[in-house]
């Protein structure tokens, strides 16, 4: 009887200690167009471009997203608002990515916490994926909270 009692106590304890982290939907990213705020300003991705991280290696791709309609045909890099990240040149979900946000008038802000980049497709000319960042604001730094999908050209 004693063994049954302790077995029931152990079973109850294990079941009552379940974690809320088991919800895999917490890491999902919306399939809608990437929208939110970047450095405290409204943002909806309209354009951007991507490059192989170096001319000697195609292992990583740096992605630049903007709320302006620019692509490879533009030499402009001084956008009003930008999001950029470097990711491996392959489909996958990456949670250790430094997502950099910038208001054209301010210093870039690096975010390594609460970042998710999912690359859904890569070709010789285009990269598609989804991105999520939740950087809450403070007196010193405005918020950058966004999520959603993007597709940009890989430029030479």
d(CA 133, CA 34): 11
Asked whether the beta carbons of 66 and 46 are under 8 A apart, the reply is: yes
Domain boundaries, the chain: 30-153
Q: What is the pLDDT of residues 96-125, one digit of tens each?
A: 899 999 987 778 889 988 899 999 999 989
The yes-or-no verdict on residue 7 having pLDDT over 60 is no
């Amino acid at each position: 009887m004693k063994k049954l009692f302790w077995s029931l106590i152990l079973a109850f304890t294990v079941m009552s200690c379940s974690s809320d982290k088991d919800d895999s939907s917490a890491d999902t990213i919306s399939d809608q167009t990437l929208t939110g705020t970047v450095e405290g300003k409204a943002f909806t991705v309209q354009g951007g471009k991507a490059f192989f991280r170096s001319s000697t290696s195609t292992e990583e791709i740096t992605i630049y997203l903007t709320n302006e309609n620019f692509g490879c045909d533009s030499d402009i890099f001084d956008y009003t608002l930008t999001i950029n990240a470097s990711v491996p040149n392959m489909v996958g979900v990456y949670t250790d990515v430094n997502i950099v946000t910038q208001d054209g008038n301010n210093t870039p802000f690096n975010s390594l916490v609460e970042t998710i980049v999912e690359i859904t497709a890569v070709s010789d000319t285009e990269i598609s994926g989804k991105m999520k960042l939740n950087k809450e604001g403070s007196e010193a730094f405005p918020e950058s909270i966004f999520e959603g999908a993007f597709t940009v050209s890989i430029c030479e």
